[in-house]
């Protein structure tokens, strides 16, 4: 097997973060070093509970540092959570297993990121799937972090498309635009000072919303997991709401996927006009592991932190008007079909009914 990519995942575990965690646990080319938590979709305490529960569900007691707690609020503005999107506990209609005796790490998220990067310079990929508050704190501790990390991928921004939180802003950036602005500024300075610093990969709504999970995809995933054909087929029936039952409910991991996605589907049906879901975070992780899934353009990006309709907007200088050097490799298109096939294969394999 080829050498695995060491990864720290920084999450605000709602439904799509949970799917990204499962995808990570099912990816043999990934070495999951640690998972750091930040308030975002739900409160920090709930993020930690969800993260521990998903790792327990995936059978990943081997993760060296399972959960490290980070920021419980944005740098400047009050925390806004999104229970209407992810449910009151961040995992939709699903439930998670008890996490046994495993507790959160004694070291905080920002310090952990810095410690790992210093210990393994040039090796570790940081992937932030929520607000960038923990990374901003880590950069305060260690401004050389961009050159110490192998790279940084983030899910966030709307670069050539409308926002999903305001007309111009995407959720993760909107929650803590001050952190996003600070992180991108530090990376811009590091790229200018050290040509060896890699541009971060920015996975915004431009690409993540090209991947829609639909009931038929969930049915495919349950078949991959070994569910009975009648139970899998029922999930794709357009005349009924997606329910876990029979052999699907026999696998705790498979039941979690179906029950959490059902809430997500209900949200998108109400607000986006289709019974399915965008799954931003797993696509971000998949593109980090396989860059051929996306096409990117280097561009200078800043973040609007002032009031008004542009609050939280990721402002991309596509024409080079500012004269600033690029500080992000923005994903502009992606192979959603290949990603979805991979998601179904990996999470379906992890959630196998026969192994439950």
Catalytic residue positions, numbered: 280
Q: From the CB of residue 354, how many other CB atoms can be counted at a distance below 10 Å?
A: 10
Query: Are the CB atoms for 117 and 124 separated by under 8 Å?
Result: yes
Query: Are the CB atoms for 9 and 35 separated by under 8 Å?
Result: yes
| Contacts for 234 with CB less than 8 Å, ≥ 6 apart | 240, 243, 245
Read off the tokens for 132. 């960038």
Report which secondary-structure segment, H or E, holds 236: none
Report which secondary-structure segment, H or E, holds 203: strand 201-203
Read off the tokens for 106. 């004694």
The Cα 61–Cα 35 span in angstroms is 12
Dihedral sign, Cα of residue 160, residue 91, residue 23, residue 64: positive
Burial label, 271 (beta-carbon count in 10 A; 0-12, 13-18, 19+): exposed
Report helix, strand or coil for 127.
Answer: strand
Report helix, strand or coil for 331.
Answer: strand
The Cα 286–Cα 14 span in angstroms is 18
Nearest alpha-carbon partner for 286 in 153, 173, 163, 175: 153
């Amino acid at each position: 097997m080829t050498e695995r990519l060491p990864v720290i995942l920084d999450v605000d575990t709602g439904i799509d973060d949970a799917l990204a965690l499962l995808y990570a646990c099912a990816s043999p080319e990934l070495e999951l070093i640690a998972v750091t938590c930040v308030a975002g979709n739900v409160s920090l305490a709930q993020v930690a509970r969800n993260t521990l529960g998903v790792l327990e569900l995936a059978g990943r007691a081997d993760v060296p540092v399972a959960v490290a707690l980070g920021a419980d609020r944005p740098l400047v503005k009050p925390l806004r959570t999104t229970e209407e999107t992810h449910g009151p506990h961040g995992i939709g209609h699903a439930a998670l297993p008890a996490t046994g005796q495993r507790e959160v790490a004694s070291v905080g998220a920002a310090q952990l990121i810095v410690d790992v990067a210093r210990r393994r310079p040039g090796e570790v990929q940081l992937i932030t799937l929520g607000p960038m508050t923990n990374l901003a704190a880590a950069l305060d501790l260690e401004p050389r972090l961009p050159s110490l990390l192998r790279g940084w991928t983030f899910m966030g921004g709307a670069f050539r498309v409308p926002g999903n939180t305001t007309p111009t802003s995407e959720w993760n950036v909107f929650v803590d635009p001050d952190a996003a602005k600070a992180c991108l500024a530090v990376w811009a300075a590091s790229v200018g000072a050290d040509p060896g610093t890699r541009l971060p990969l920015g996975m915004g709504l431009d690409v993540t919303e090209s991947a829609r999970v639909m009931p038929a995809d969930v049915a495919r995933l349950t078949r991959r997991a070994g569910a009975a054909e009648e139970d899998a087929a029922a999930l794709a029936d357009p005349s009924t709401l997606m329910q876990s039952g029979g052999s699907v409910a026999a696998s705790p991991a498979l039941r979690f996927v179906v029950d959490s996605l059902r809430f997500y589907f209900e949200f998108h049906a109400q607000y986006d006009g289709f019974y399915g879901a965008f799954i931003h975070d797993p696509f971000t992780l998949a593109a980090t592991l396989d860059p051929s899934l996306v096409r990117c353009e280097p561009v200078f990006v800043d973040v609007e932190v002032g009031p008004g309709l542009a609050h939280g907007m990721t402002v991309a200088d596509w024409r080079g008007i500012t004269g600033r050097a690029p500080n992000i490799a923005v994903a502009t298109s992606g192979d959603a079909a290949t990603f979805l096939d991979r998601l179904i294969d990996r999470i379906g394999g992890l959630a196998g009914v026969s192994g439950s």
